[in-house]
Structure 1
């Protein structure tokens, strides 16, 4: 029976909260600083890094605005986890996949540096710039870059280029206006556009028989004959298995077919790698969150500074011309400086990783059923008990 005057029943609305890790943004450079701070705590300071000690150091280095749990989440995001030592201490460890990836990258580049006839190294990357990118009113010079002012709202321009110690690859600059409303410029690039840029602008102008260094953006990493996943339709899974000449029966369920997919040893092959291989080049992929190993990141900073110094009226019509002029002014001398710095950082990593191995070799780790709980990024237990 309906009660007159009674308040209507309303289902409580679910509260949507934004994870703290998304509120405090760390760019690639900040993530590099965080990772190297962990390494130096072990190797140089001879101390076991904890969230509390790292929080203080990150506040000093980059004015980190997050708290303990936010920093813990950022650590997990860049490939660190907590492992339990034999004396029940929890130690901050880099995931083995990240360490392996970095070791392989460093070895390839180190061998090339020491070769009698080293291959020419070319670095590929993408960036973006807003038409409003400029400098605030202050004294400026080529060495004192001043204060940048940028309105991040509105449309931006995507820049794709490549270069090495010899400078930028001639005629390989690609600049286009963003068509995406997303703040992530990677949304404007896709595999098709990237492959077209490789074929028409980059490959025809590359030095022969080179090493091509790039990151792991999704459009760099489209796989040939990619294995099916849980989201793949059953008929597509069957076709994939038949192409691999794996025997199946018509009565098999999707879960059984996916188990056959998992059992198949499949080597990842990328369209980008194969295309460059056809033209005599070898692709080397940067380990995640190691942008300091890519000298083009420093080149982008110089390029944006030069654009900012020109961009007085901040009109969209001028920005592409400013980009072209700025790129033309970045000589091989700039590239040589930053490539030498990247080589120095590689050697530091090589030595530091060896020292880190020695430090961690002395510690025995225990693996138990609670390790997954302890490693959870949402773990509330303290890691500062040591």
Structure 2
């Protein structure tokens, strides 16, 4: 019997058994075949040292306990730039490296490129949130491919962007970000008697910043900075549909000097619908009223699930309050495809803005941070905006080319297996009707 010398491998029950065996031999008459400890070692298979340590633990602490498992540190969610890099790396595997982007080789690359802190399982969750799925390939391996709905929305964005540009609309990029009063540089020159800048212990108060810009620079008068109600959680919750609409009406639209296509993401406060299609929470009478208002005939004897299905079959495309407001003033809305902050030029500007704040914030007072932010807006001129817009155009063009290449690659490796089933694991596949690119 092999000896167990590591006490950390023994749970409380195993330790108690060893102790009981030792106590049993302790009460028996002494024999010539060894001491109580030696007989316990032969009977249980643990080492001498383990028996001594169990006896000492019981004597010093009383009831024996299982060893505590080491706790993992908190996993810090990835920011938009890191998730964009993951998406680009998957595309790189398909188009440049001509390799199947399995989770393991993707995990290895990301650990080197962005110091990805999570495990392969964590990476699986991240890529699923980006709209990727595992699919069996022709050599029985798995490849990460995007859902058709994500690709379709990206293709629609390409066409809509070109259409608006051909019509003479100027692209104006809109977004919001946040800055904490404790936001500062994490490194500085220090010496034996010069500790440098001391960082505060908490994040402090938070500012929400909203702005818009184009190749001509920031839109004059569109700047909005206000104190957030909380310094934790998702900063998108600090803005709601009513406040965003008021900002559009009073600060953005009046300052647009020509027909513009306002580029924005699909945040909930930017996507308030003028009229929603009935859902499972809608009352039966309200479903009937909705059907009548849309001139959809129905039998009054239909049950609620049948009425609801009829409404869903005749659901019109969603209409948004912001879109109507913008079009009434001679402009258009260009919505970004999901998971593509890299298509928004203001994301690059936000990075430059925060870099300025990080280098100059030494007081950690909210008023000072707001002044630094205002000064930074003055420094970031049209030249930086022009560079950011050109970079985004290049990124969009690269994605467009990649989509054509990936379409050819995926078409050559995907096998439609009618009896496959969908799963997250590396050992399962998707059905032919559920192929998620």
Q: Same fold (TM over 0.5)?
A: yes
Matched, 1:365 2:411: no
- 1:80 matched residue in structure 2: 132
Cα pair distance change 1:257/1:23, threshold 3 Å: farther
State which drifts further: 161-170 or 354-363: 354-363
Aligned residues between the structures: 350
- 2:427 matched residue in structure 1: 381
Report deviation, 1:86.
4.8
- 1:262 matched residue in structure 2: 312
Q: Give CA-to-partner distance per residue, 1:310-345, whole Å, 9 cap, x none.
A: 322111232322221211221101101111111111
RMSD of the alignment, in Å?
2.4
- Computing the radius of gyration from Cα coordinates, the structure with the larger value is 2
User: What is the rounded CA distance, in whole Å, between the counterparts of 1:96 and 1:87 in structure 2?
Assistant: 22
Report deviation, 1:369.
4.4
Specify every segment of 5 or more residues in structure 2 that has no aligned partner in the other structure, as ranges.
1-71, 190-196, 430-437
SS in 2 for 1:45: coil
Report deviation, 1:136.
4.0
Report deviation, 1:111.
4.9
- 1:345 matched residue in structure 2: 395
User: What is the rounded CA distance, in whole Å, between the counterparts of 2:186 and 2:426 in structure 1?
Assistant: 44
Q: Is the 8 A contact 1:224 1:269 kept in 2?
A: yes
SS in 1 for 2:213: strand
SS in 1 for 2:243: helix
Q: Is the 8 A contact 1:136 1:148 kept in 2?
A: no
- 1:213 matched residue in structure 2: 263
State which drifts further: 157-166 or 245-254: 245-254
Report deviation, 1:152.
5.9
- Of 152, 156, 159 in structure 2, the residue corresponding to residue 104 of structure 1 is 156
Aligned runs of 1:89-128 on 2, under 5 Å?
89-111=141-163, 115=166, 118-128=168-178
SS in 2 for 1:162: strand
Higher relative CO (Cα under 8 Å, sequence separation at least 6) belongs to 1
User: What is the rounded CA distance, in whole Å, between the counterparts of 2:247 and 2:82 in structure 1?
Assistant: 30
- Of 131, 138, 142 in structure 1, the residue corresponding to residue 188 of structure 2 is 138
User: What is the rounded CA distance, in whole Å, between the counterparts of 2:126 and 2:120 in structure 1?
Assistant: 10
SS in 2 for 1:126: strand
SS in 1 for 2:220: coil
- 2:293 matched residue in structure 1: 243
User: What is the rounded CA distance, in whole Å, between the counterparts of 1:249 and 1:27 in structure 2?
Assistant: 51
Q: Is the 8 A contact 2:206 2:230 kept in 1?
A: no
- Of 101, 104, 107 in structure 2, the residue corresponding to residue 52 of structure 1 is 104
State which drifts further: 60-69 or 227-236: 227-236
* TM-score (structure 2 length as normaliser): 0.75
Q: Is the 8 A contact 2:361 2:369 kept in 1?
A: yes
User: What is the rounded CA distance, in whole Å, between the counterparts of 2:263 and 2:201 in structure 1?
Assistant: 31
